[in-house]
Structure 1
């Protein structure tokens, strides 16, 4: 039986990492009796170990709560626990589009952070009713009144009725539930109209196949119904309908305004794309819902097994991960130095780190990750034989002949950085060094908000780590992509013993190429062990060497057996050794240990 629309409340929780979002979700579940005290665990809605350890949400989760308000009526509360990180911004936008309101959770000790800001603006764009919650008020460093003023100054929403709470101690939970019922509006929709539902998220379950999280906008979705995905153009038969409380509960149907899940014998997550519109195959809706877009990988890198025998295991593991994450792409590639591996595309650096960690942890693989690079657009001076004038370059090793290239464009981002006053100077210098263009600098209380335009290439390396270390962990950072811009970009190759090492080649700006090259060769000099012959390590752009270091040869004391006697004998022996070394250098090969690769690729450019 469908619930009365006026009794439904769909809301999400917006918060920066570690501001208490998952803990608050736990308390709301506990308070409404979703789980008994025995069934409760920390961060109930975070399924993966990585989510719990890092305190982040990677996949959107939903839970349906039954709540009896002070007015004596029973309400159905649908909570969407959304990812908070910038890499998953599109998933967040779809989760927010499925709600009518949001709880804005701000840490009473830390105040408004960059990520909170990005997601709250998305929420405002969706015309949401926002309920401010000031969390962790029981901390010794808490300054709730200062944070209340900050919410009003920075975000521009009224925080005079902000709920004071501590999710950990259970303070203010009842007030939050009442605020959800009284302030967040019920959903709108027409139950008699043709079915129109939004696909909010999907994941692969080994027993059920692909599980699809949906929000019904109009009409009713029933078990046994033939549905059509409007963007993908495929039709499927719904064999299971239900909701999470947070345990799975099977239902006969999902009515207008409700959030739940369906399964329809779909085997591949790539078929169920986030943001797609579901409709009745026999009586379809006229128009799909707005806001759908194809998720494109932004950062690319190579993943290679440390042990070449693990290649098949890596292929299998990546294929399994792909079942659960359609935004992750991969294709096979080979490298002279690293053997067989895969070129993988990710939504961002956190996404890359999570996939890498899951492969290592869940599938017991030792991996080498090449330097992350972004997608460059290359415009040719003349069309090639196939008539192509522009290509997207994912791998620096595939760079075409520079003589054929008219322009190279790189992706740029607009970054918002929040930082306490005392660290501002070093953060501005960091942005300046990374070719940043300052757009804005404002102050809120004792903190500065800097807005910069930066090339994404400069950010993917180690920008976030440097930002955190320079600000002792206090700076917060969020970004949005703003398109491509032409740049003076060149391919920098690393040569070891005059042989190019394709895994270490990268695309850099001509202005910073020398610093990058010098940093890389200096580091490699320390990492590659000495051989019996001299090894030159060079960084080069085309035929021009821009940095060089030499690893001196190990030397056997061939004159040890000479005691006294004629000096010409010693000279003769040394001369013979010199010739032998020259010959060895000509034919000898340099073995670069895997640790050297890993360390060199982690280098960033803090040299």
Structure 2
């Protein structure tokens, strides 16, 4: 706002509280051209020499070391609202992925990432984004600029829960992962983020879109017609529902003509539950999700059916189950590999065949008890489920 910055001037980022010395100052003409100094009102650049990503961020105030004024108002730290885990398809690319995320952080400080480990997908990163579009942009940049093949888990949002009993009674907690979402009986209140949506569509498709809005729990506000045959709809919707393939369905129903923009409104009470997928009585955290109570049975049936179709058979019979609300609400059985142990026998007493079959049955039962029915899920099964 005032003053002058020259080369070798001691400076400070007011928000980040990081001190540095200007190595070079310059202007764009249109390329970078070094100059002796930059004065108030001029547009240019400062070479800081800071090597840590995330220190220099858009909106921070640069001031001299002796400046005692408060930073310029209006700056807000970006707060992630959508979370997803990113894993390399091959664990050999983990180091490359880590370096790529660090480089992208230099040009886009609004996303966050931290290392995490999954027993099924290996090492990866838990990333926070400003929205679904932001997630798509970062994923696409990692693929195009760094030639990385990635596994991106189903996007999730944060929930604010209040406990009603147990050691945490009365406490509030932010839940980032469906696998850590508490059981229903422990909670007195759940809150989730809602969004304000502005939708523009040709009038001819409005009747097609209305059932979709009901399906995704949208609240329809005002509407206005403009132009020749277009209308603008103002909606409010849970962010959770916006991520449930809403945009793809909207494009399909409107032949690609409808478009939306959205912004976070705030937190509201939510009626949601955690849906767990069990294989051979063992919960698989990678497949857990938080869904609306009214569609939990539909989601459980869909997930169990999909997993049933792609999961390889084992040497023993195993159950694939969807569990929510404290009970099993969907179940499919995967038959075991079978071998005709009597194929070498021709004729003779039927009791000989019955004894062999009974022996085979006992052997499979003993094997299941010994291994406690655990199933090793191949990685390609996880990939197919994540990309559904």
TM-score, reference length from structure 2:
0.90
Preserved CA contact (<8 Å) 2:221 2:235: yes
SS for the counterpart of 1:443 is strand
Say which is worse superposed, 490-499 or 527-536, in terms of deviation: 527-536
Q: Are positions 1:230 and 2:14 aligned together?
A: yes
Mapped to 2, the partners of 1:383 and 1:237 lie a distance apart of 53
SS for the counterpart of 1:236 is strand
Q: Are positions 1:463 and 2:263 aligned together?
A: no
Mapped to 2, the partners of 1:523 and 1:324 lie a distance apart of 39
Mapped to 2, the partners of 1:441 and 1:564 lie a distance apart of 80
CA RMSD of aligned residues (A): 2.5
Pick aligned residue for 2:121 from 332, 338, 343: 338
Cα gap change, 1:282 to 1:518, in 2 (>3 Å): same
Could you say which residue in structure 2 is the equivalent of 1:74? Answer: none
Preserved CA contact (<8 Å) 2:200 2:231: yes
**Count of matched residue pairs:** 385
Could you say which residue in structure 1 is the equivalent of 2:33? Answer: 249
Could you say which residue in structure 2 is the equivalent of 1:592? Answer: 377
TM-score, reference length from structure 1:
0.59
Could you say which residue in structure 2 is the equivalent of 1:259? Answer: 43
Preserved CA contact (<8 Å) 1:374 1:457: yes
Mapped to 2, the partners of 1:511 and 1:313 lie a distance apart of 42
Q: Are positions 1:406 and 2:188 aligned together?
A: yes
CA shift digits 1:507-556 (9 cap, x unpaired): 11211211111111111111212223222111111531111122222322
Could you say which residue in structure 1 is the equivalent of 2:286? Answer: 503
Deviation at residue 234 of structure 1 after TM alignment? 2.9
Cα gap change, 1:320 to 1:517, in 2 (>3 Å): same
Pick aligned residue for 1:377 from 147, 160, 173: 160
Mapped to 2, the partners of 1:601 and 1:425 lie a distance apart of 32
Mapped to 2, the partners of 1:564 and 1:421 lie a distance apart of 76
Preserved CA contact (<8 Å) 1:337 1:501: no
Deviation at residue 280 of structure 1 after TM alignment? 2.8
Could you say which residue in structure 1 is the equivalent of 2:307? Answer: 524
Q: Are positions 1:601 and 2:380 aligned together?
A: no
Long gaps (5+) in structure 1: 1-195, 197-217
Preserved CA contact (<8 Å) 2:89 2:150: yes
Preserved CA contact (<8 Å) 1:226 1:282: no
Q: Are positions 1:275 and 2:275 aligned together?
A: no
Pick aligned residue for 1:566 from 305, 326, 349: 349
Cα gap change, 1:443 to 1:541, in 2 (>3 Å): same
Preserved CA contact (<8 Å) 1:441 1:448: yes
Could you say which residue in structure 2 is the equivalent of 1:442? Answer: 224
Deviation at residue 265 of structure 1 after TM alignment? 1.4
Pick aligned residue for 1:578 from 354, 357, 361: 361
Q: Are positions 1:295 and 2:78 aligned together?
A: yes
